[in-house]
Amino acid sequence: MKRFLMLLALPLLLGAASPSVTPKPSPALIHASHAWIRYLLPGLPAAGYMTLTNTGDATTRLVKASSVDCDTLMLHESKTESGTATMTMVKSITIPAHGRVRLAEGGYHLMCTKPKMTVGGNVGITLSFSDGSNLLLLVPVYGPAGPREG
């Protein structure tokens, strides 16, 4: 009983010793919003778009994406150089602390090869980050026009 009381008292003593102690930085905390997949045809790769927001104090990197509904789910970047659009695989996508990254047409995106999905359905995607955390998403599937309104 005596030891228990001492353990309880310890945080109070530490707090008293340094009243202006700065809070420990929080780890990266990632939220995904506006996620969707553009599905064209069974034989063509489908692209995944979303906004990744980091509300934590630490920068992290998206290092891997996977889905049982894709043969592979790659991290891609589109670029246009002297009028020619190209896509390259990237090893990671950095999401700065208190920042956000958009995966959108003409930039970063997920590329799903041999997609097994239907327009109107959902696809489960797992995003893995450099700090070892994972984010599980259920992402709606749209046709070529995407989720445009009107």
Q: Binder to Cu ion among 111, 112, 123, 139 (CB under 5 A)?
A: 111
Instruction: Give the Cα separation of 48 and 34 in Å (integer).
Output: 10
Which residue number is nearest to Cu ion in terms of Cβ? 76
74 C-beta neighbours (distance < 10 Å), count: 18
- Closer residue to Cu ion in complex, CB, 38/76: 76
Length of the chain: 150
Task: Considering the complex, state which of residue 63 and residue 87 has its C-beta at the smaller distance from Cu ion.
Answer: 87
Interactions with Cu ion, residue window 39-68 (CB under 5 A): none
Q: How far is the CB of 17 from Cu ion (least distance, A)?
A: 55
Residues in binding contact with Cu ion, number by CB under 5 A: 3
In this complex, which beta carbon is closest to Cu ion, that of residue 30 or of residue 73? 73
Stretch of 6-14, 29-37, 91-99, 106-114 contacting Cu ion, by CB under 5 A: 106-114
135/105 Cα distance (integer angstroms) = 22
**H or E element, residue 4:** helix 2-17
Contact residue for Cu ion among 50, 76, 93, 115 (CB under 5 A): 76
Residue 38 sits in the site that holds Cu ion (CB under 5 A): no
| Residue 103 CB, nearest approach to Cu ion (Å) | 10
Separation of alpha carbons 131 and 143, rounded Å: 34
Q: Which residues does 75 contact at the CB level (< 8 Å), separation at least 6?
A: 62, 64, 65, 89, 90, 91, 92, 93, 108, 110, 111
Q: Which residues bind to Cu ion, rule: CB under 5 A? A: 76, 87, 111
